[in-house]
Each structure stands twice: as structure tokens, then as C-alpha cells.
Amino acid sequence: GKDIVQFANAVKITNSTIDGKVRNGSREKGNSAGNNNSAVTTYAQTHTANTSTTQCSGLGTTVVKQGYGSLNKFVSLTGVGEGKNWSTGKIHDGSSGVKDGEQNGNANAVAKDLVNLNRDEKTIVA
């Protein structure tokens, strides 16, 4: 977890645009309820309702369009630096609790976003 926090800080300092492209999406399952991500509006260390998640790229599409997400924001809001929610996050279970998300789901989501950067952005990150 600590390594990804250092990486996120380095990306933010180097290029905030790239920071916003990594982990800013709604393609991963942030909520196991039938509406999937539509209610998910925030990242949080612990869940209080179906509106929060610790799954990378598990936000609702409306929130993503508002530019809420970034790699740095994800690691700071979900407690990754304290050893929480990495490499597997937690999602709302559709009723009143939480459950583990996809095994290594957070690590895989970050990796997908890094692969999707253009060549120049990958050079900057490297």
C-alpha cells in the first residue's frame, strides 16, 4: 500500500492531468446492488451506505464526469497508506453491509488505467 501512495504522490506532482486519468472511471463494480455504480458518489475508508466504495474506478458515471476522481484522491480517501483497501477494495453488498470486491481489483484497475495512457503520458509516469 505504501508504494502506491508514493507513486500516486509522484504522479500528482509530475502531472495532475495524468493523476486525473488514473483511477477515474466507472467501469469496475463499486456496488453489488442491481443499480451497480449509479448511487456511488464517493470514495471512503469505510462504508456507511451504498454511496461509497473503496473500489478503484467504481464511481457512478455522473461523479466521474464531474472530475471527482484521481489516483491521489483515491489513495488518500480509502486509507491505502494505512494498509487498507489495497490491492482488493470493498464494495456495498446490496443490502446493509460490505463485502470484498474483485480479488486484486484495485491493483488491476490502476494497471488498466496506466496501460490506457498515451505514449507521452507513459513516458512521463515512467
- Total domain count for the chain? 1
pTM of structure: 0.85
Q: Whole-angstrom Cα distance, residue 25 to residue 70?
A: 9
Residue 97's domain comprises 2-125
Has residue 6 got a pLDDT over 80? yes
Q: Which of 67-76, 79-88, 108-117 is least confident?
A: 67-76
Residue 55 in contact with residue 100, Cβ under 8 Å? no
Confidence band, pLDDT 50/70/90 cuts, at residue 14: very high
CA-based nearest residue to 52, from 67, 66, 33, 65: 33
For 33-82, how does the pLDDT look when each residue is reduced to its tens digit (9 = 90+)?
666 677 788 888 876 677 888 888 877 777 766 666 789 888 998 999 99
Cα 113 to chain centroid, rounded: 10
